[in-house]
Structure 1
Amino acid sequence: MKTLYKYIASVLLIVIYVSCNESDDSISGITVNTEDFTITAPVVVQQRDTLGFLRGSSNSGEVTYTLLSQTPENSVVLGIRYGEIIAANPEVFNADITNQINLTVEVKKRNVTRISNVTILRNLNDPDGDGIENNSDTDPNNPCVPLQDLTYTGFNPFNSIWGAADCDDDGMTNADEVNSGRNPYIDESTIGDADGDGVRDDVDPEPNNPCLPEQFAGYQDFNPENEVWAMGDCDDDGVSNADELANGESPYPLPDLPCNEILNFDLGNYERELRTVDSNNGEGVTIGVIGEDCGTFFFTGGSLFNQGCFNEDLSIPFFFTPNDPTSSNGTIVVNLTEYSCLSEDRVSSRLFTVEGFGSYAGASSTVEFTYTITELGDDIPEEERVTTGTLIIRPLS
């Protein structure tokens, strides 16, 4: 009897194990429902427009969708969980490429899948491309009727009838205006620029303020003949725009940017050991420290000019100025600076001044500097006081 009980228990355990590990979804009872269907796109489709939603359900919760194929390709993308059909390429829907887009979609819950075939029809109810369907368009074959305001963007830029028209009658086709960033519904030549800042009044946030929208040094599109602009002070330094321009200076401020962006040269790369090659004294190594003001860099260490100095407090400021706002090259200047040179015995020292000019190159992070060093002291012969030379500073590697 005990043997019989053991046999029955073993059979029950096997049945329970098989039931718990059964992967056949027909046994699990999961069902997925979907269907084939057709939708019609709007008369004008914009990027990221929602065109519709896929159809599918399951008796076991939310289904997922996978786009298996589409013709033409890259027409749409799907919102994976909720089946949103999103326009990826508006030209497919707006141009005469095809009249329908065909999708094959897998609808899935666990291992149960169904296929849904979706057809998206291009909307042909706007032959003139003005974005107004025929039943609402007072002149379905005239792309410029009804009249639109200046902010209207509902037109079909791929429609050949609309593109060939000239809705603002300025001699430029709608298509050419859109391609050049102009407004096809207004003749820009009739719009003034009251403050002379180079921004048309229709897009200028402050048409009577020559300093708004804010511009920065290097901006050249202003009208120097405009009195409103000439009397302005766009860098707020107490000097009028006209006077700054006459003095050869920019009437606009430097942008509030990190110094590296202003110089187009990362001075931070110089905060390490750098190789120095001096035309008089050969090679050496120096280090540097960024100054508080943009473009100011202090080269330190007694080996800057490879004179055999051992000063730990040597600090000679170099001033970096870019050639123009977009250049990574520029000039450097060292104003007359006095420094001492502690000799090898660490007791006696010599006093010098240095000044000069040169250039920096962003691509190679290299400085080339022509200097004049003058040794101070009454016991120095005149012919030995002044030394001129060239110093090149660059990264060690």
Structure 2
Amino acid sequence: MKRTFYTFLILGFLVLSCNKSDDNRTLRPIDNDGDGVLSDVDPDEENPCIPAQNAGYDEYFATNDVWAMADCDNDGISNGEEDSNGTDPYVPEDNDGDGIGADVDEDDNDPCIPAQEAGYDGFDVTNEAWAEADCDDDDITNALEVEIGTDPYVSDAPIDEDGDGVEASEDVDDNDPCLPAQGIGYDLFDSENTIWANADCDSDGLSNGEEVNQGSDPYDSTSTEEVDNDGDGVLFSIDDDDFNACVPGQEEGYNGFDSDNDTWSAANCDGDSVNNGDELLAGTDPYKFDSDGSDCLSPVNTEVWSGALNGLAEGFETSGVGVPGCGELTINGDIFDFGCDIEPSAMIVFTPEFGGATNGTVEIAEQDYECFGDTPDRLSGSGTYDEITATMVITIDFFGDDITFTITPDN
């Protein structure tokens, strides 16, 4: 009987303990989709993007897989990635800073597309692409317009409707590109302006645009034929550069040039140091290398760096002596200021920009620079040259640092 009593006593204690535990238990809130909105008030507990949230919202649970895998701003980057990157998962990415999210922007790499109306201010002025663009085509960058207080979507360029180069405020008739009348040689017009291009300001039967295309003067009624300014025999409309007699390049034996043209005569189209006019008088070919009989096929006149040379770099001066060769130059002396114990030599190779060009690039292929007897340094570098100014600008590797030298004759 006593055992039965104690058994009931123990059972009763356990029941009371369980009831007490139940009374004190706290229920944990449930948020299945991790959006920070509890299930009992969430319109869609399986969709972490409902309800929609504003920029800057941060009550979400980034460790929740459902939330992390979603893309609540529809910019192609998951919420989890945006949280890791430090970007806002509730603001679409905007690469070009125009304020239009990547998901709806016609071109998210062009800050001026789509076009915006005057007064638009949804841009991000700190975005480099937007800041450097010029969305109103007035030659003032967006960032500078913001800085000076003008509208980056309203052109501040002078108005010239007819393209005649005269501002509307001063134009006799800004819808007539031939008023005011201009003299022969006038060139302040806008040849891309349709009103101007379609007019015929010298009344010679050719439109202004046609005259520009063939190189004749739209303000000279006697100038109607297509021109060849450089005398190379290639007309203006098809010449890549009608003021350079050596462009386009020609083969040996070419004779379609105009020998009376001063531009052609003064040029040196084969780059052999004898100009076209002199070659013609001498009976040699102005389009054949080495028709001067020098046995050198390089067009570069390295003689301009013959003799004493000066070097200038970062405030200090150096010196050397140039010994010209065929397309190359040897400089004797510590022109690159290695602090040599003995006199070193450096070989420089020239490459013209094109046949007959007086400028181009130079290279110091990696070579020994005999400075300290048995232990030569290694020298390498590259740069540019200009025969007209007799200038070389060469950057060398000086023990791991780049140093730029300007080398000219010591006149």
The TM-score normalised by the length of structure 2 is: 0.29
Name whichever structure is richer in strand by fraction: 1
Structure number with higher relative contact order (C-alpha < 8 Å, ≥ 6 residues apart): 1
- TM-score (normalizing by structure 1): 0.30
